[in-house]
Amino acid sequence: MTKDLLIRNVRPLGGAPTDLFICNGRFAEGSTEHEEMRVLDAAGQIALPGLVEAHTHLDKTLIGMGWYRNEVGPTRNDRILADRKAKRALGIDARRQSARQIMQTLRFGVTHIRTHVDVDTEIGIANVNGLVATRDTFSGLVDVEIVAFPQSGMLVREGTLALMEEALKAGADIVGGIDPASIDRDPVRHLDAIFALADRYGKPIDIHLHEPGELGAFCLDLIVERTRTHALEGRVMVSHAYCLGMVEARRQAALIDALAASRIAIMTVGSPSAPVLPLRLLRQAGVVVASGSDGIQGTWEPWGSGDMLERAKFLAQRNGMTADSDLEATIDVCTFGGAAGIGLADYGLSQGCHGDLVLVGAETVAEAVALTPQNRTVIRGGRILVRDGLPSEDLPHVA
């Protein structure tokens, strides 16, 4: 049983110094110290709610596996092929690798993760099984949502749809999809199949949509239509959605309105080499915007730390934002936006919310985003998991 925790001299979201009290795992009204309570002096650090990683690929990171020499071609299909080949050639153990990434990002304060996990006719649902095991390992420490993800295509690779169903039975939480036109070659059938799965298993949906320009916008139209027909408002996320940054302004505005009306969330990583999404317009229209690291240190991209505070900086940089108020908006995307996008309940620093937070040494939230200070303290349900950058010794042992 985790003791109650009193955090003294802490600045929630960069505000005035105060105390935070976590009782039975949730923020509660201030309490006087008593013997059964732990007390932590935050020394004026800023408290942010636990950072939300809304889009990564825990089963693909090569952290700790030595350098992978990347000689992969430039197209998405080149990369999918290299990825599938590497799984076999390198023997990537999804269970071990996902645990490694979780431990790495926990030190940054990432307490909630949505991960896409490959399902294909070569690996089957082995990676989903690996992730289910990792999810159990970190139960109560870091929450993991598993998206069954047909990375190599679904309809174009016979047998994949059946595997998607198997993955959901095996414990995947969300139905994934990918480029209904350019990869799966039949946007209507791809989306119909995914929405049917979501219906049958009562699951939310999260679709990778890289399709460019009007092709992507058309797919987005199809997704909006189906979200309404299936009454899945508030349960669908579209990841990347580059088309939103590629179509002309009036079309863009109409798409944003449609997303807002059907409560479809958008996930953007703010990639420096992909089209930039209209972050400000999306948020102004009330669209939930979440963010993520995408794959880190894998065959797709050799870099990446998984730090969602750094991600807030990247989002600001990609959008040409430098004002403090904008940096506050991008960290909102990486906390509250992510929480809303992946459907977390009772998230935040208010009374009654889960007692999850990260302490960061900075004068303001904007400074935290700009300079991403390290040596953070991470608390989950009142339990101190990382203190000044050092993980607690009773965390799961990760090979």
Interacting residues toward a copy of itself by CB under 8 A: 66-67, 69-72, 74, 270-274, 276, 297, 300-303, 313-314, 317-320, 322-325, 327, 362-364, 366-367, 370-371
Residue with tokens 């009204």: 29
d(CA 360, CA 227) in angstroms, rounded, equals 39
**Choice between 47 and 164, CB closer to a copy of itself:** 47
d(CA 220, CA 225) in angstroms, rounded, equals 9
- If one counts every other C-beta atom within 10 angstroms of the C-beta of residue 169, the result is 10
Q: For the CB of residue 373, give the shortest distance to a copy of itself in the complex, in Å.
A: 12
Burial category of 253 from C-beta neighbours within 10 Å (exposed 0-12, middle 13-18, buried 19 and up): middle
**Choice between 323 and 390, CB closer to a copy of itself:** 323
**Choice between 186 and 324, CB closer to a copy of itself:** 324
**Choice between 187 and 216, CB closer to a copy of itself:** 216
The neighbouring-strand residues paired with 47 are 12, 359
Residue with tokens 């940096």: 327
Give the DSSP letter string of 196-254: HHHHHHT--EEEEE---HHHHHHHHHHHHHHHHHTT-TTSEEEEE-GGGGTS-HHHHHH
Q: For the CB of residue 186, give the shortest distance to a copy of itself in the complex, in Å.
A: 28
**Choice between 1 and 67, CB closer to a copy of itself:** 67
**Choice between 112 and 311, CB closer to a copy of itself:** 311
Q: For the CB of residue 317, give the shortest distance to a copy of itself in the complex, in Å.
A: 4
**Choice between 74 and 202, CB closer to a copy of itself:** 74
**Choice between 14 and 180, CB closer to a copy of itself:** 14
Q: For the CB of residue 83, give the shortest distance to a copy of itself in the complex, in Å.
A: 12
d(CA 11, CA 88) in angstroms, rounded, equals 48
Q: For the CB of residue 13, give the shortest distance to a copy of itself in the complex, in Å.
A: 15
Q: For residue 130, give the nearest of 164, 171, 95 by alpha carbon.
A: 95
- What's 334's DSSP letter? I
Q: For the CB of residue 229, give the shortest distance to a copy of itself in the complex, in Å.
A: 36
Burial category of 308 from C-beta neighbours within 10 Å (exposed 0-12, middle 13-18, buried 19 and up): buried
| Single-letter amino acid, residue 2 | T
Q: For the CB of residue 320, give the shortest distance to a copy of itself in the complex, in Å.
A: 3
Q: For the CB of residue 363, give the shortest distance to a copy of itself in the complex, in Å.
A: 4
Q: Are 164 and 197 in contact (CB under 8 A)?
A: yes
Q: For the CB of residue 44, give the shortest distance to a copy of itself in the complex, in Å.
A: 13
**Choice between 74 and 91, CB closer to a copy of itself:** 74
Q: For residue 97, give the nearest of 53, 127, 68, 142 by alpha carbon.
A: 127
φ, ψ (nearest 5 deg) of residue 334: -85, 0
